[in-house]
């Protein structure tokens, strides 16, 4: 084996090792590196009452209700498998809307309502001209797991 080939084999072996380590590391981070938890994870008991966390999901159709004080809203966050009621006092981003994604910082209250201190809007990967109107039926609402 010429030294050049020896170096090539060594380099490829090292590359495979690095890639393997990277994949192992990334898969070990799977849950920890998640930016938010889904309603299904929350209802499955992965969130303790009072623990600071992020909840992400779709805002269920027809669920946004403004409360009597005028600045508090309530809505239902869903991932298609489970839903969690959310309460938030403050200003939401412009893109916050029903049938659209959102991420909320906050904590679960004992009565099962998620109380948010902050809400971010999450948009999906679709871009289209406005005249195409609302979401085509063949496009999925919730990303695949």
Partner 1 sequence: MHAYANPARFLAIARPLTPWLLGLGTALLVVGAWAGLVLVPGDYKQGETARILYVHVPSAWLGMGGWTGLAVAGLVQLVWRHPLAGIAARAIAVPGMLFTALCLATGSIWGKPTWGTWWEWDGRMTSMLILLFLYAGFIALTKGEEGGRQGWALPRGAAVYALVGAVNIPIINRSVVWWNSLHQGPSITMRGSSIDGALLWPLGLTLLGFSLLFGAIVLMRMRRIIADNRVTARLQRMADEEV
Q: Residues in the chain, how many?
A: 145
Cβ at position 61, least distance to partner 1 in Å: 16
Q: Which residues contact 134 (CB under 8 A, 6 or more apart)?
A: none
Nearer to partner 1, 62 or 143 (CB): 143
Interface residues with partner 1 (CB under 8 A) are 4, 7-8, 11, 14-15, 18-19, 21-22, 26-27, 29-30, 33-38, 56, 92-96, 100, 103, 119-133, 139, 143
Element (H, E) at 89: strand 83-89
Q: Tell me: is residue 127 an annotated ligand-binding position.
A: yes
Q: Which two tokens stand for residue 125?
A: 């990967």
Q: Phi-psi region for residue 76, left (φ > 0), alpha (ψ -120 to 50) or beta?
A: beta
Between 99 and 110, name the residue whose CB sits nearer to partner 1: 99
Give the list of residues 6+ apart from residue 73 with CB closer than 8 angstroms, or none: 64, 65, 66, 67, 87, 88, 89, 92
Nearer to partner 1, 24 or 65 (CB): 24
State the minimum distance, in angstroms, from the CB of residue 55 to partner 1. 10
Binding-site residues for heme sit at 123, 127
Annotated binding site: 123, 127
């Amino acid at each position: 084996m010429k030294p050049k080939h020896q170096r090539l084999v060594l380099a490829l072996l090292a590359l495979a090792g690095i890639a393997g380590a990277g994949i192992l590391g990334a898969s070990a981070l799977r849950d920890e590196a998640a930016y938010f938890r889904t309603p299904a994870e929350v209802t499955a008991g992965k969130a303790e009452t009072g623990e600071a966390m992020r909840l992400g999901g779709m805002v269920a159709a027809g669920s946004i209700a403004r409360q009597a004080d005028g600045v508090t809203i309530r809505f239902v966050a869903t991932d298609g498998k489970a839903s969690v009621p959310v309460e938030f006092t403050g200003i939401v981003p412009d893109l916050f809307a029903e049938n659209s994604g959102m991420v909320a910082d906050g904590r679960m209250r004992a009565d099962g309502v998620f109380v948010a201190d902050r809400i971010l809007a999450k948009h999906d990967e679709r871009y289209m001209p406005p005249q195409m109107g609302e979401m085509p039926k063949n496009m999925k609402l919730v990303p695949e797991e």
